[in-house]
Amino acid sequence: MRITLLSLLILLALVLWTGCATSIPPEMSALLVEKVDLTRYSGLWYQVARYPHSFQRGECGDSTAEYSLREDGRIDVLNRCWEGEYGGAYSQQVRAVGTPMDDRGSWLRVVFFRLFPAAYLVIELDQEHYQWAAVTTADRNSLWILSRTPALDEETFERIITSLEGKGFSRDRIIRTSQQ
């Protein structure tokens, strides 16, 4: 009986957690960029700033995310934490698969280890050249600023931060990573 109750509680928790990645609050939907061309979004992105995360402490300051569009419309994700310089040794690597959840391509359900889903919301994007983006989660507790290069010029970075502040994100929580 005790094991059954524990199993049911774990199952309920997983179902509730999974549900968080398959729906987002309406106020978050309003923050999404109008359109993401996932073919253009594919490729290598450097993290240039982020909110603090327990999984990115210590040796995971410099990180990249690489997106590859699959034939089935989903996206392969490869996140890496680098030791020293990019392209050398990496300390951690995580693979995931993303599924577009809206017609705009700005909301992906990304599943890590085939078990742990997360909502990936593109809320800022260089629509013309696809050179920078800002991504968050449905609860706003995560935020990443990404660039096609290891650094962004100060004017562009400040424009992104100001826009994020207008969307309710805290400038004070943003950590610029070592590529700057």
**What is the model's pLDDT at position 62?**
79
Calpha distance 57→172 (Å, rounded): 18
Q: Where are the domains of the chain?
A: 2-176
Q: Is residue 168 over pLDDT 80?
A: yes
**What is the model's pLDDT at position 149?**
94
Calpha distance 86→36 (Å, rounded): 26
Average predicted confidence (pLDDT) for the chain: 82
Burial of residue 16 (CB within 10 Å: 0-12, 13-18, 19+) is exposed
Secondary structure E strands in 55-149? 63-69, 75-82, 90-100, 107-112, 116-125, 132-136, 143-147
Summarised one tens digit per residue, pLDDT across range 41-95 is 999 999 999 998 655 555 566 789 999 999 999 999 998 887 766 666 667 788 9
Q: How many CA atoms lie within 13 A of 89 on its CB side?
A: 4
**What is the model's pLDDT at position 14?**
35
Domain 2-176 classification at class level = mainly beta
Q: For the chain, what's the residue count?
A: 180
Distance set, CA 128 to CA 17, 37, 85, 107 (Å): 35, 11, 29, 19
Helices in the chain by DSSP H: which ranges?
2-22, 26-29, 38-41, 154-166
Report DSSP state, residue 56.
G
Instruction: Report the share of the chain in percent with pLDDT over 90.
Output: 56
pLDDT confidence of 179, banded at 50, 70, 90?
A: low
pLDDT confidence of 11, banded at 50, 70, 90?
A: very low
Instruction: Report the share of the chain in percent with pLDDT over 70.
Output: 77
The candidate with the shortest Cα–Cα distance to 144, out of 21, 47, 41, 40, is 47
Q: Is residue 17 over pLDDT 50?
A: no
